[in-house]
Structure 1
Amino acid sequence: MTAFQHIDNHQAPRRAAASQQAYIIEIGETQAGLVSRRGDERYFTFIAASSVFNAIEGHRFATPGAAELAARQLASPRRSHGGRTRQ
């Protein structure tokens, strides 16, 4: 199960460009990390919660869903071609 938990920064002083969006990304029972962006930013930046997801640490994504897909690909076991040959 994947979950996005939206975190709004309501505690900070309100300025139009200073609002922030953040989403926690979970893959199954594992917290992969979070993505966040300030109101003046176009992209979400990924912050890893586990070393499994360090490969995408700091990467920018257009949507939280795009970051979730990248995290899901890192978490899934790699498929090997197991000696099959093409004919």
Structure 2
Amino acid sequence: MSNFHSASHSSVAGQPPQPGLAYVIEVGETQAGLVARRADERFFTFISATSAFNRLEGQRFATPGAAELAARQLAAPRRHGPARLVA
């Protein structure tokens, strides 16, 4: 089961806080990373928590759910060989 949790988006020291959103992305019991979006941004940027999800590092997603789906797909076991259609 995968899940994402909201977290507060902190400001840089010495600057006023900028409202934003951040969500922790989990795949099963593994923390894949988080996605964050500042108030002036349109997309969420993925920040990898483990090397298994480094391929998503820096990618931008429209929603936290889209980032969660990408993380689940990356973690899914790969099928061997090309897909075949049965008539």
* TM bucket, shorter chain: 0.7 to 0.9
Q: Which residue of 1 aligns with 2:44?
A: 44
Quote how far apart the aligned CAs of 1:8 are. Answer: 2.4
Q: Does 1:20 align with 2:20?
A: yes
SS for the counterpart of 1:22 is: strand
C-alpha offsets along residues 5-61 of structure 1, whole Å, 9 cap, x if unaligned? Answer: 11123x6545xxx21100000000100000001000000000000111111100000
Q: Distance in 2 between matches of 1:56 and 1:69?
A: 11
SS for the counterpart of 2:33 is: strand
Q: Distance in 2 between matches of 1:59 and 1:24?
A: 15
Q: Which runs of 5+ in 2 are unaligned?
A: none
Q: Which runs of 5+ in 1 are unaligned?
A: none
Identity fraction in percent: 62
TM-score of the two chains, using structure 1 as the length reference: 0.82
4+ residue runs over 6 A deviation: none
TM-score of the two chains, using structure 2 as the length reference: 0.82
Q: Which residue of 2 aligns with 1:69?
A: 69
